[in-house]
Amino acid sequence: MPLFRLTLVSALLLVAIAPAQADWLNFRGPQGSGFDPGAATTPAKLSDKTLAWKVVLPGRGLGSAIVVGDKVFVTAASGPEQQQIHVLCFAVKDGAPLWERRFWATGRTMSHNKTNVAAPTPASDGERIYALYSSNDLICLDLDGNLVWMRALTLDYPNASNSLGLASSPIVVGDTLVAQIENDSESFAAGFDLLTGVNKWKLDRPKSANWTSPTVIVKDGESIVALQGGDGIVGLLPSTGSPVFKIAGGASTIPSSAASGDQLFIPSNGLTAMRIGASGSEPEKVWNESNERPGTASPLVIGEKVYLINNAGVLTCIDRATGARLWRTRIEGPFSGSPVAGAGDRLFIFGETGIGQVVDLSGEEGRIVSRIELGETILSTPALSDGALYIRSDGHLWKFSAGL
Amino acid sequence: MKATIALLAAALFLILPAPPLRSAEWSGALEQILKVGPEGAGNAEAAKAWGELTAHGSEVILPVLEAMETAGPIARNWMRSAVETVFERELAAKAALPADRIKAFVLDRKNEPNARRLAFDLYGKVSPEEAKSLIPGMIDDPSAPLRRDAVAQLLTEGQAQLGAGEKEKSLATLDRALDAARDIDQIDAVAKLLREKLEQKLDLPKHFGFLMHWQLIAPFDNTDRKGFDTVYPPETEINLSSAYEGKEGKSVTWQEYATSDDYGKVDFNTPFSPLKQVTGYAYAEFTAGEAREAEIRLGCKNAWKIWFNGELLFGRDEYHRGQRIDQYSLPVALKEGKNTILVKACQNEQEQDWTVQWEFQMRVCDSTGTAILATDRKPTPEKAAPARRPAAAATPAPAPAPAQ
């Protein structure tokens, strides 16, 4: 089966509109992996001295902030039944509010108390923001807040909801927005047209609750979107939804995989590394370590090392090539959010009790070099952009900057 | 089933011909927005219309608010964001805003309830003190979002009177609050004060409109969750004196059942003992004083289906992801006299302590949540002995994985 190949025209178009390297465009940044090699600088410490600004948010949310150019975007949900949903835009420079758009949720807003309607992280292609909510409202705005399109997916697909709350974050791959709306009753994944929001494709998915987010594998310059679920992984051509590969054997429905190049590190039977082969070939298992079990946090791949955090709050470093454990250290959890990293040998993670930690990865073992208590429950994953880190709670959005 | 769902979706989108717009101003753009339909239809045209509307000044605010009367949920959101975009821009520019006309729109109870709430919020930004002065008058407002603020004021006032030892005043205030309250959290808060601080007896099931008296029949089989799609005899005939073959060939018959639960919980485990992989049915008749539109509101954490006057309304095969009052709202047309309601509730194979429940709760109300009572409603049953498994009944589902 041929892999997705960009035409010359579309390739040139994508180059022309490609967002700046410093942008953080979706959950866990580039490829949905948590690691941005282009983030050359990151804050060495999290402290009052590196706190650039802090702004109040109008409602709950645990989706990450995303950053496009000089703007940072975040979603929220407010009201007694979380029926007001918000998209907020702030200035990167000083946190000044630039615009806010509010909508009424059109789908079900029920969720477990721990999560909320603004659980998915929005996505961007550098020109527009695509905000998805647990109510299945999917809203596209341009960077200035002009409404481009809206979908009310629960009106289209009335049983597509999860009474505990949905949390999977969408991602833009090429010319398509890919989202997983997976639950026990009416489960699907879909590719949406970036300009109109209409379905480019829609695929039935296993009827089972699933909170994982799609990731992107790049094979010979070609992008494949990987959908994870209880039955394993399926790789799709993002523009058509055509299957490219399948990895059976099951996978977690909580932590998402980490993609790095043509490899996928899957929370499956512990942790399993798979290499996506040439077109038409079966994915190859590189290794499996059944004792290395990611908790809620998704794994992270940086260069030749894989990092995972288990439910006991132990951070483990694994050799990418062999799966061998290199070191482990306990950090302060528990964690709902996932770790992220830039090119500076520093891992950033925030725990549910509001403690942010910076782990220095440059030595033979990981070492916590900075710790901050934000004083609020933090269930979200940080974003990194242009030397800064962004983290949000139900009440606030913080920016920590390396330049201070 | 699919046909019914399609009809529901059609009703929600309001794709049937809409009444004419009240104002001819910007009618072209507004009509374009009104045409948004299922699966993204009309998005591109709506975006152009949105741009046209928001290019204008505050003169578009009232026509757009008025147009919400004819809009479905998606079109209403397009209009809301247009109104707020213009309003915020004009407010920031210190331009003249039609405060008096917005206030008049709020006070006109014939206007669309959500639009009135939006207008009230806008008015509050222009004239905060005057907006606040309107709140007490909203205690009997047909718009639940507006009534909420008035109830909140009474609740605060009643609490203060309690704190000052003014029990009689507090009782009068809180009684008014309870009469007016439609939101579950407010009803709970007021009822708690009335019961615990003022020793009042309350009939909450009647206040909500819960159906308390049923005929139950069970168990039919649900091994491998096949019972959801299996048509058992109660789906083809209602004969309360018939006996049928149930699970494992045992004879099953209809039994009278009444619940005294404040929130109308109908517990199949009480008469049939805790069972797994079973299906049960509940039947009730509702005598309406007049033909009218109404909503059947359901809470259920088992797979369920509902038939109203013999027609399948909706079904959902999700198990143990959570339950709350008004979890699902299903519009129905009550006919004068006898209406029939049949509920199917399936219990699955899970054995965790948070999967014991095999129950549902249902009420009949209008779109604002105001109870509609049967003309022959029986008295609410007196509280029975404590439930056999109170701890299990209160055990929530485990937290989902919010942020992966």
pLDDT tens for residues B333-377?
999 999 999 999 999 999 999 999 999 999 999 999 999 999 999
Q: How confident is the model at residue A9 (pLDDT cuts 50, 70, 90)?
A: very low
**Residue A371 CB burial class (10 angstroms; 0-12, 13-18, ≥19):** middle
Which residue of A lies nearest to B396 if distances are taken between CA atoms? Answer: A112
CA distance A350 to chain B (A): 12
Q: Is the pLDDT of residue A145 over 50?
A: yes
Q: Is A163 on the interface with B (CB under 8 A)?
A: yes
Domain count, chain A: 1
Specify if B1 maps to a domain.
no
The string over A95-127, giving b where at least 16 C-beta atoms fall within 10 Å of a residue's C-beta and e elsewhere, is beebbbbbbbbbbbbbbbebbbbbbbbbbbbee
Q: Is B146 on the interface with A (CB under 8 A)?
A: no
Specify if A2 maps to a domain.
no
Q: How confident is the model at residue A219 (pLDDT cuts 50, 70, 90)?
A: confident
Q: Are residues B166 and B239 in the same domain?
A: no
Of B138, B158, B185, the position where a domain reaches its end is B138
Average confidence (pLDDT) over A27-52: 92
B370: how many CB neighbours lie within 10 A of its CB? 15
Specify if A317 maps to a domain.
yes
Q: Is the pLDDT of residue A344 over 90?
A: no
pLDDT given at position A84: 97
Q: Is the pLDDT of residue B3 over 60?
A: no
pLDDT given at position B6: 40
Q: Are residues B101 and B163 in the same domain?
A: no
Q: Are residues B215 and B327 in the same domain?
A: yes
Residues in chain A within 8 Å Cβ distance of B38: 155-156
Please check whether residue A68 is in contact with residue A143, taking contact to mean a CB–CB distance below 8 angstroms.
Answer: yes
Q: Are residues B213 and B198 in the same domain?
A: no
Asked whether the CA dihedral B291, B297, B300, B305 is positive or negative, the reply is: positive
Q: Is the pLDDT of residue B172 over 80?
A: yes
Q: Are residues B217 and B358 in the same domain?
A: yes
Q: What is the mean pLDDT of chain B?
A: 91
Q: How confident is the model at residue A404 (pLDDT cuts 50, 70, 90)?
A: confident
Of B171, B202, B233, the position where a domain reaches its end is B202
Q: Are residues B253 and B342 in the same domain?
A: yes
pLDDT given at position B391: 40
Count how many residues are written for chain A.
Answer: 404
Q: How confident is the model at residue B4 (pLDDT cuts 50, 70, 90)?
A: very low
- For testing contact with chain B, the best of A141, A150, A194 (most B CBs within 10 A): A150
Q: How confident is the model at residue B398 (pLDDT cuts 50, 70, 90)?
A: low
Domain count, chain B: 3
CA distances from A238 to A138, A175, A309, B224 (A): 18, 8, 30, 34
Specify if B397 maps to a domain.
no
Specify if B401 maps to a domain.
no
CB-CB under 8 Å, B318 with A162:
yes
pLDDT given at position A16: 38
pLDDT, tens digit (0-9, with 9 covering 90-100), for B92-145:
999 999 999 999 999 999 999 999 999 999 999 999 999 999 999 999 999 999
Residues in chain A within 8 Å Cβ distance of B397: 112, 164
Q: Are residues B164 and B25 in the same domain?
A: no
- pTM of full prediction above 0.90: yes
| Ranges A17-26, B242-251, B291-300, B391-400: which has the least confidence | B391-400
Specify if A79 maps to a domain.
yes
pLDDT given at position A28: 97
Which residue of A lies nearest to B89 if distances are taken between CA atoms? Answer: A99
pLDDT, tens digit (0-9, with 9 covering 90-100), for A64-98:
999 999 999 999 999 999 999 999 999 999 999 99
CATH of the domain at A100: 2.140.10.10
Residues in chain B within 8 Å Cβ distance of A167: 400-404
CB-CB under 8 Å, A207 with B322:
no
Which residue of B lies nearest to A85 if distances are taken between CA atoms? Answer: B77
Q: Is the pLDDT of residue B19 over 70?
A: no
Smallest CA-to-CA distance from A230 within A255, A251, A207, A258 is with A251
Please check whether residue A24 is in contact with residue A124, taking contact to mean a CB–CB distance below 8 angstroms.
Answer: no
Specify if A3 maps to a domain.
no
Of B115, B138, B161, the position where a domain reaches its end is B138
Q: What is the mean pLDDT of chain A?
A: 93
Residues in chain B within 8 Å Cβ distance of A170: none
Specify if A212 maps to a domain.
yes
Average confidence (pLDDT) over A186-190: 97
What is the span of the domain harbouring residue B234? 208-378
CA distances from A160 to A10, A121, A136, A143, A168 (A): 33, 19, 8, 29, 13
How many A/B residue pairs have CB atoms within 8 Å? 168
Which residue of A lies nearest to B320 if distances are taken between CA atoms? Answer: A163
Q: Is the pLDDT of residue B73 over 90?
A: yes
Residue A316 β-bridge partners: A308, A328
Specify if A337 maps to a domain.
yes
pLDDT given at position B18: 53
The string over A63-81, giving b where at least 16 C-beta atoms fall within 10 Å of a residue's C-beta and e elsewhere, is bbbbbbeebbbbbbbbbeb
Q: How confident is the model at residue B397 (pLDDT cuts 50, 70, 90)?
A: low
Q: Is the pLDDT of residue B392 over 60?
A: no
What is the span of the domain harbouring residue A80? 8-401
Q: Is the pLDDT of residue A5 over 60?
A: no
| Ranges A241-255, B4-18, B39-53, B213-227: which has the least confidence | B4-18
Specify if B403 maps to a domain.
no
Cis peptide before A334 (omega within 30 of 0): yes
pLDDT given at position A13: 39
Q: Are residues B370 and B251 in the same domain?
A: yes
- How far is B3 from A93, CA to CA, in rounded Å? 53
Q: Are residues B178 and B274 in the same domain?
A: no
A18: how many CB neighbours lie within 10 A of its CB? 11
Q: Give the number of C-alpha atoms closer than 13 A to the C-alpha of residue A327, restricted to the C-beta side.
A: 13
Q: Is the pLDDT of residue A51 over 80?
A: yes
Q: How confident is the model at residue A48 (pLDDT cuts 50, 70, 90)?
A: very high
ipTM field:
0.92
Q: Are residues B355 and B267 in the same domain?
A: yes
Average confidence (pLDDT) over B392-404: 49
Specify if A205 maps to a domain.
yes
Q: How confident is the model at residue B385 (pLDDT cuts 50, 70, 90)?
A: low
pLDDT, tens digit (0-9, with 9 covering 90-100), for A104-113:
999 999 999 9
| Ranges A26-40, A48-62, A124-138, B297-311: which has the least confidence | A26-40
Q: Is the pLDDT of residue A14 over 50?
A: no
Q: Are residues B219 and B196 in the same domain?
A: no
pLDDT given at position B64: 97
* E-strand stretches of A184-251: 188-193, 199-204, 215-219, 222-229, 232-236, 243-247
Q: Are residues B152 and B46 in the same domain?
A: no
pLDDT given at position B318: 96
Specify if B398 maps to a domain.
no
Specify if A1 maps to a domain.
no
Average confidence (pLDDT) over A220-224: 88
